[in-house]
Amino acid sequence: MDPGALIGLIIGGGLIMVGIVMSGGVTAVMGYIDIPSIMIVVGGTVAATIVRYPIPTVMGAIGVAKKTVFVKMGSAEEEIKRLVEYCKVSRREGLLGLEKEIEKINDEFLIKAVRLLVDGSDSDTLRGILGTEIDNVRQRHSAGKGILEFAGLMAPAFGMIGTLIGLVDMLKKLDDPSKIGAGMAVALITTFYGVIMANLMLLPLAGRLDTLSKKEVSLKEIIMEGVVSIQKGDAPMITEDKLKSFLQPKAASKISSGPAKEGKQA
């Protein structure tokens, strides 16, 4: 699990709480808790999102958002080293020699790629099947990002709606000046909730999903190019050089060329 998102949420929420306590004491925290306001902001945001998108799509986006927090992806360097090793195995034992490697793999996409390779699929078939799956992942993540961004726009809007409701209620009590201050505070809390929900949770998660989606797609493209190179019978050194082109020069230089040279002698 990549703890970055949880750490950010904890730090952001913690600093807000510290600010509240420093400005008004521990008892001030209770003044920022208003159940009707939470219902308006959270319920309204969810309702608007369901109106905008089909429920199955929204549920899928929730699952994708959870993965941005709880799923840790491997590095491109590790994938390249593994694919170069597969290339060496195929040169020594043939493509069927890769069948025993499937049991050691946890990535479903890589399992499918290696199985297609072992089954004798040609390069066009590999690119067609794996490329379609990559496009589906890209579209699914793009939809999830769009839903999170839409919800991030709706949360402050429903915060304002809650504020208007609170102001209307406050104006009805103008005959009692002692209630005006408390009424104004409650009216503004919904805006507070909406801004926090959008800018600390929804919009950052949408951006994080976009970043991780690009990384995942890049990893899958590396796998696709790697198995295609193996299918073509390229030498390990050639396979490694092809896959290094996906990396920044600094990252590519960290991959040892020792295994590739060893594979060239095979």
User: Terminal CA-to-CA distance of the chain, rounded, Å?
Assistant: 38
pLDDT of residue 133: 94
Q: How far apart are the C-alpha atoms of 238 and 39, rounded to whole Å?
A: 59
Kindly state the DSSP code that residue 124 receives in the 8-state scheme. Answer: H
Domain boundaries, the chain: 1-33, 35-76+122-264
Task: Name residue 160's amino acid.
Answer: M
> What local confidence, expressed as pLDDT, does residue 184 receive?
79
Q: How far apart are CA 87 and CA 211, in angstroms?
A: 30
Q: Are 38 and 192 in contact (CB under 8 A)?
A: no
Q: Is the pLDDT of residue 261 over 60?
A: no
Least confident range of 12-16, 26-30, 130-134, 228-232? 26-30
Q: According to the model, what pLDDT value does residue 1 have?
A: 54
Find the radius of gyration of the CA atoms of the chain: 26
Q: What is the mean pLDDT of residues 216-220?
A: 92
**CA angle (8 as vertex; 68, 6 as ends), nearest 5:** 50
The pLDDT assigned to 52 comes to: 93
Mean pLDDT computed over every residue of the chain:
86
152-206 confidence digits (pLDDT tens): 999 999 999 999 988 888 888 777 777 777 777 778 899 999 999 999 999 999 9
Residue 40: closest CA among 153, 150, 162: 162
Residue 31 structure tokens: 């003044």
1-47 pLDDT, tens per residue?
Answer: 567 788 888 999 999 999 988 888 888 888 888 888 999 999 999 99
Report the sign of the C-alpha dihedral through residues 67, 71, 77, 79, in that order. negative
